[in-house]
Chains A and B, each alone.
Chain A
């Protein structure tokens, strides 16, 4: 149940009228080995901000995309063999499949931010910008309202306006 006293219509508005209150980090889930997966546990700080199914949906989707990027099958073997045969020069003109999927992930996160997260005062950072270690979710407070969140220990520069 969301009880936000503010609404942000887009990311621009979020940036201009909100201040960073807190950050939540979703860590990696290594139970499947070294493949890229993130924990889908719903963080308690987000309970009042977003519905659980929406959130879990986003994270599950991201996990699916990462699994697709790292999938080892006919296409990736073909790409690997072709690259080896050309002494890896082919990557000067071609993008690897992994990079293509990463771009897709970037677009997906942007779209999710615009449609779902920014209107609730949240922002997802693409994990590639954090070395694929975490999914960072920034929680914003409306500047006008008195901060109901716990004092922030994070003072990242992104709150600079």
Chain B
């Protein structure tokens, strides 16, 4: 469901891409006769790209379309049925303000949904090998059956000790506040949560758009709710309540939608306002990383101390450019990150390892890299199991220890179960700890065929055999424990 393989290469009009270093070494791509491919086509994460790489979303976008439909239908009904009456009887400013709000909401929604949340590109094979060497040296020699301890590094930030975890998929030590989203299979900087309503992760680069979206949507919802009620009241003053409802039946639908949305959206806006003012992410708040209950002298090292600075930093701070350069062309001599990532957890059982090594390529989008990888390794996604979701939304929630979910233990992820990140699927639902929410759909087994790449077209056997050897050697070492 992607567009792009056969599209002619278009001018990049939307200049969101970071700069390219134009050393003469790295511009050899033009020697190749075939059409140069863009990096989004071989992106290892589980994302979808549209408009030739300009738009980037998560794999499951159904709920996003629902959001869009709800907003457009409700607003459309408002403008069509209520506004004429209100404009003529009250003031024409009402549809104007409504219109401005509506377009702002849509603009922020698209910006939050379509932009890169702050994905960290995976390590190149050289980097990964270098890190392995460093970690190996630190741990000492390992005999058979020895299980190396989880890989962490400690760093002191502003007086607080923060643990940096090693991501087995991306082969990097995650920066502080970064987290790996198991739905999108990417490490995201300043990871907040994965939002299915928006169809994307919310991270460093799109958090402000997300916040402005829910804030403006709160205003829009309240606005529509208030004026539809006004409309019905004014009408029933003239013609009686029931005939007023008969004259404008759309109002009933709008009131219903707005009534139920107001609680969740306004609540969510309030929650995120609290998060912004204390400079925390949803992730940190849920885990209680900086709460006093965890340790007496626990405090948030990232907070600037006062609310105003925290708010300005989150909303008006500099916007870093995307690190993944999705519309750039692949230079065949540039090292691409190794893509067998999904199978490389050190806790993989040997059976699974042989399964992975032997299986014919199941087409997963994170399988093959041009000029940079070995044969495609089927992803682990066939083992993801729906998890119960947790959807707390009050800021005063106590720290939730062990948000691991049983289902995710089957996955080959690293044992620090970061699956709880994607339970943030529905923070805006009213909290009900009883059982899975309908929004666990995003958690459901990703067994669908994901690849939009055919290995036959991409695999370049001539080039990176030794790289393959490296990666296989790494896999064997990891799985032999």
Interface residues of A (CB under 8 A from B): 11-12, 15, 23, 25, 27-28, 30-34, 69-72, 76-77, 79-81, 83-84, 87-88, 91-92, 95-99, 102-103, 106, 109-110, 113, 123, 125-126, 128-134, 136, 153-158, 160
Q: How far is the CA of A53 from the CA of B16 in the complex (A)?
A: 36
13 A-B residue pairs with CB within 8 Å: A33-B176, A34-B302, A72-B312, A77-B316, A80-B315, A87-B104, A92-B14, A103-B19, A106-B20, A110-B22, A154-B126, A155-B466, A157-B332
Q: How far is the CA of A81 from the CA of B127 in the complex (A)?
A: 38
Number of residues on chain B facing chain A (CB within 8 A): 69
Q: Say yes or no: B19 contacts A155, CB within 8 Å.
A: no
Residue of A71, A110, A128 near B318 (CB, 8 A) is A71
Question: Known contacts A31-B156, A87-B108; can you find 7 more A-B pairs with CB under 8 A?
Answer: A25-B130, A30-B176, A33-B301, A71-B318, A96-B321, A129-B20, A130-B124
Closest 10 pairs between A and B when the two form their complex, measured CB to CB: A80-B316, A131-B121, A126-B21, A154-B126, A157-B333, A155-B466, A87-B107, A131-B323, A156-B335, A77-B316
Residues of chain B contacted by A32 (CB below 8 angstroms): 157
Q: Which residue of chain A has its CB nearest to the CB of B466?
A: A155
Residue of A23, A34, A91, A157 near B463 (CB, 8 A) is A157
Interface residues of B (CB under 8 A from A): 13-16, 18-26, 103-104, 107-108, 111, 120-121, 123-127, 129-131, 133, 155-158, 162, 164, 172-173, 175-177, 189-190, 208-209, 212, 301-302, 312-313, 315-321, 323-324, 332-335, 371-372, 463-464, 466-467, 470
Q: A15-B25, A123-B25, A136-B126 are in contact. Are A70 and B320 (CB under 8 A)?
A: yes
Residue of A71, A84, A113, A131 near B316 (CB, 8 A) is A84
Q: How far is the CA of A92 from the CA of B15 in the complex (A)?
A: 6
Residue of B209, B321, B334 near A157 (CB, 8 A) is B334
Q: How far is the CA of A30 from the CA of B163 in the complex (A)?
A: 11
Q: How far is the CA of A30 from the CA of B155 in the complex (A)?
A: 7
Q: Which residue of chain B has its CB nearest to the CB of A78?
A: B316
Residues of chain A contacted by B107 (CB below 8 angstroms): 87-88
Shortest distance from the beta carbon of B22 to any chain A beta carbon, whole Å: 8
Shortest distance from the beta carbon of B331 to any chain A beta carbon, whole Å: 9
